[in-house]
C-alpha cells in the first residue's frame, strides 16, 4: 500500500475502510493506480481542507511551519498519520530547497541528523528532490518516555551528477510521550533517523 505524493500536495490523501469510522486504527494510505493517477474522489478523504491563500501565497505551496512551538500539538498531529504528514513536510522542505526548515525537523533541534545546519545544506547541494512515495506508517512503539514510529518512503529526483536519484528506507520519527515537564515541541514528531543522498 502506498501513496505517490506530488510536491504541490501539502497534505496526505487518506482512504478509510468502507463503513468504518475514520479512526487511527482504520485509516490507511490510499492505493494508487499503476499509472500514477489520482485516487478516486468517491473513496478518498482529504486529511484537511487547504489553507486559505494569504497575501502573496498560493494554496499549493508547502505547509506552513508551526507558528507557536509552545502551543499543544493537535491530537491528529501526534498520531501515526501525523508522523506521515511530518515526512511529507520534510520532503516538501527538501524539494523547495528550504534546507534549514528540513534540518529543524530532525530531533534535538537538528542535531539528531549528525550534521550542523551548514553541513546539512552542503549534503543536499546540487540534489533535486522531485517527488515522494510515502507508505503506511508502522506501529508506534514506546521506549524510555519516547514514542517511535517508522514511515516507509522513497524520495526521487536528480543526483549531483545529473543521474536519477532514489533515496529509499524508512524515516524513523520520535516524539516525547505526554509526560509532565515535556514541552509542546517535544511532543511533536521529529526525525530520529533517515537516509541521505550519496555524497558523489
23 lies in a domain? Answer: no
Cell numbers describing residue 90: 520534510
Confirm if 110 and 93 have CB atoms less than 8 A apart. no
From the number of C-beta atoms within 10 Å of its C-beta (0-12, 13-18, 19+), residue 96 rates as middle
Q: What is the CATH number for 185?
A: 3.10.450.50
Q: What share of the chain is helix, strand, coil (3-state, %, to 5)?
A: 20, 25, 55
Confirm if 66 and 78 have CB atoms less than 8 A apart. no
- Provide the residue-wise pLDDT of the chain in tens; the chain has 200 residues: 444 444 444 333 333 333 443 344 333 343 333 433 333 333 333 444 444 444 443 444 544 444 455 555 666 688 999 999 999 999 999 999 999 999 999 999 999 999 999 999 999 999 999 998 999 999 999 988 899 999 999 999 999 999 999 999 899 999 998 788 888 888 999 999 999 887 65
64 lies in a domain? Answer: no
2 lies in a domain? Answer: no
Q: The pTM is what?
A: 0.64
Secondary structure (3-state) at 158: strand
11 lies in a domain? Answer: no
189 lies in a domain? Answer: yes
126 lies in a domain? Answer: yes
- Give the residue numbers spanning the domain of 77: 71-193
Amino acid at each position: 500500500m502506498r501513496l505517490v505524493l506530488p510536491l504541490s500536495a501539502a497534505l496526505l490523501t487518506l482512504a478509510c475502510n468502507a463503513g468504518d469510522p475514520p479512526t487511527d486504527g482504520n485509516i490507511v494510505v490510499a492505493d494508487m493506480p499503476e499509472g500514477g493517477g489520482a485516487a478516486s474522489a468517491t473513496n478518498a478523504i482529504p486529511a484537511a481542507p487547504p489553507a486559505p491563500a494569504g497575501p502573496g501565497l498560493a494554496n499549493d505551496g508547502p505547509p506552513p511551519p508551526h507558528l507557536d512551538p509552545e502551543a499543544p500539538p493537535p491530537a491528529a498531529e501526534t498520531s501515526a498519520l501525523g508522523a506521515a504528514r511530518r515526512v511529507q513536510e520534510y520532503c516538501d522542505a527538501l524539494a523547495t530547497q528550504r534546507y534549514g526548515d528540513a534540518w529543524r525537523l530532525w530531533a534535538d533541534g537538528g542535531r539528531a541528523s549528525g550534521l550542523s545546519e551548514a553541513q546539512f545544506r552542503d549534503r543536499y547541494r546540487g540534489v533535486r528532490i522531485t517527488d515522494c512515495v510515502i507508505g503506511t506508517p508502522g506501529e508506534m512503539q514506546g521506549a524510555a518516555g519516547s514514542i517511535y514510529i517508522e514511515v516507509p518512503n522513497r524520495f526521487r529526483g536528480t543526483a549531483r551528477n545529473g543521474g536519477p536519484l532514489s533515496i529509499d528506507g524508512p524515516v524513523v520519527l520520535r516524539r516525547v510521550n505526554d509526560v509532565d515537564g515535556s514541552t509542546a515541541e517535544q511532543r511533536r514528531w521529529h526525525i530520529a533517523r533517515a537516509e541521505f543522498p550519496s555524497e558523489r
